[in-house]
Amino acid sequence: MEIQKIGIVGAGQMGNGIAHVLALAGYDVLLNDISQDGLDAAMATITRNMERQVSRDKITQSDMDGALGRIASTLTLTDLGATDLVIEAATERETVKQAIFDALLPHLLPHTILTSNTSSISITRLASRTDRPEKFMGFHFMNPVPVMQLVELIRGIATDKDTYNACLSVVEKLGKTAASAEDFPGFIVNRILMPMINEAVYTLYEGVGNVRSIDQSMKLGANHPMGPLELADFIGLDTCLAIMNVLHDGLADTKYRPCPLLTKYVEAGWLGRKTGRGFYDYRGETPVPTR
16, 140, 198, 230: which one is catalytic?
140
- 119: annotated binding-site residue? yes
pLDDT exceeding 90 applies to what percent of the chain?
97
- 236: annotated binding-site residue? no
pLDDT exceeding 70 applies to what percent of the chain?
100
116, 119, 120, 122: which one is catalytic?
119
Return the C-alpha torsion angle 118, 121, 125, 126, nearest 10: -30
Residue 190 annotated to the active site: yes
pLDDT at 108: 98
pLDDT band per the 50, 70, 90 thresholds, residue 101: very high
* CA angle (139 as vertex; 137, 141 as ends), nearest 5: 165
Q: Averaged over 132-150, what is the pLDDT?
A: 96
- 11: annotated binding-site residue? yes
116, 190, 198, 230: which one is catalytic?
190
**Is residue 135 within 8 Å of 108, Cβ to Cβ?**
no
**Beta strand pairing status for 177-182 and 150-155?**
parallel
Secondary structure (3-state) at 271: coil
117, 120, 152, 198: which one is catalytic?
152
Residue 285 annotated to the active site: no
- 175: annotated binding-site residue? no
**Is residue 11 within 8 Å of 33, Cβ to Cβ?**
yes
Residue 248 annotated to the active site: no
- 13: annotated binding-site residue? yes
Residue 230 annotated to the active site: no
- 17: annotated binding-site residue? no
Q: Express each pLDDT in 49-84 by its tens digit.
A: 999 999 999 999 999 999 999 999 999 999 999 999
pLDDT at 93: 87
Domains of the chain: 5-182 (3.40.50.720), 191-289 (1.10.1040.10)
